[in-house]
């Protein structure tokens, strides 16, 4: 990734994964974001007995960053057991685009899987804020 120091981001996501609250699925996901200001925020998936209230690791990390004042997220690392558990869901992709369509998305599996993308490549033709301003 050009001009963005993401060293340590995957390790931070890997550590966050250990704090997942997933008594129902047993799935553990960790995420870490790097903000434009250089701060790192981590998140893990948080489940609930009312399943629909659960929140993904990616959104947990992004919401922590934004609620602390960040408005642009440069990169996010997602760590899961294997490939299928590192692919962000549609809701998380939409939130990524909100805070930077160019956001680098680093997907890593504990099993060695590795893939990189950008938020906009994961959500083509996204509904986004510039479209709202043109209405
Ligand atoms: Zn998600």
Per cent of the chain over pLDDT 90 is 87
In a domain, 2, yes or no: no
Per cent of the chain over pLDDT 70 is 93
Using one digit for the tens of pLDDT, what is the confidence trace for 98-120? 999 999 999 999 999 999 999 99
pLDDT at 133: 72
Structural domain harbouring 95:
9-132
pLDDT at 20: 98
CA angle 48, 46, 79 (to 5 degrees): 145
**Catalytic site includes residue 58:** yes
In a domain, 4, yes or no: no
Q: How many CB atoms lie within 10 A of CB 99?
A: 21
**Separation between Cα atoms, residue 108 and residue 44, nearest integer Å:** 14
**How many structural domains comprise the chain?**
1
In a domain, 126, yes or no: yes
In a domain, 82, yes or no: yes
CATH classification at residue 115: 3.40.140.10
At 7, the pLDDT band (50, 70, 90 cuts) reads confident
Ion ligand 1: residues, CB < 5 A: 56, 89, 92
Do residues 9 and 1 make contact, with C-beta atoms less than 8 angstroms apart? Answer: no
pLDDT at 1: 47
In a domain, 3, yes or no: no
**Separation between Cα atoms, residue 93 and residue 68, nearest integer Å:** 20
Query: Which of 58, 83, 98, 102 is the catalytic position?
Result: 58
In a domain, 108, yes or no: yes
Residues 6+ apart with CB under 8 A from 28: 17, 18, 20, 22, 44, 45, 80, 81
């Amino acid at each position: 990734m050009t001009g963005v120091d993401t060293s340590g981001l995957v390790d931070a996501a890997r550590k966050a994964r250990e704090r997942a609250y997933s008594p129902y699925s047993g799935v553990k996901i960790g995420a870490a974001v790097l903000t434009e200001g250089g701060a790192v925020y981590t998140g893990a998936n948080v489940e609930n007995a009312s399943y629909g209230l659960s929140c993904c690791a990616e959104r947990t990390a992004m919401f922590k960053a934004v609620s602390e004042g960040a408005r642009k997220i440069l990169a996010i690392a997602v760590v899961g057991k294997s490939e299928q558990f590192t692919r962000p869901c549609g809701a998380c992709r939409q939130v990524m685009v909100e805070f930077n369509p160019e956001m680098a998305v680093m997907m890593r599996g504990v099993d060695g899987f590795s893939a990189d993308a950008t938020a906009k490549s994961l959500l083509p033709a996204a509904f986004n804020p510039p479209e709202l301003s043109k209405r």
